[in-house]
Amino acid sequence: MPKASTRIHVVPRNGGWAVRREGADRATSVHNSKKDAVERATDLAKKNSSRLIVHKQDGTIEKHRKP
Query: Are the CB atoms for 41 and 54 separated by under 8 Å?
Result: yes
How many structural domains are present in the chain? Answer: 1
Produce one character per residue of 28-42: b if its CB has 16 or more CB atoms within 10 Å, e if not.
eebbeebebbbebbb
Residue 58 lies in a domain: yes
Positions in the chain whose pLDDT score sits under 70: 1-5, 67
Q: Distance between the two ends of the chain, CA-based, in angstroms?
A: 15
Residue 2 lies in a domain: no
Residue 1 lies in a domain: no
SS3 state of residue 45: helix
CA dihedral 13, 22, 30, 28 (to 10 degrees): 150
Full-prediction pTM beyond 0.75?
yes
Residue 23 lies in a domain: yes
Amino acid 36: pLDDT: 98
Residue 34 lies in a domain: yes
Domain that holds residue 49: 7-65
Amino acid 5: pLDDT: 60
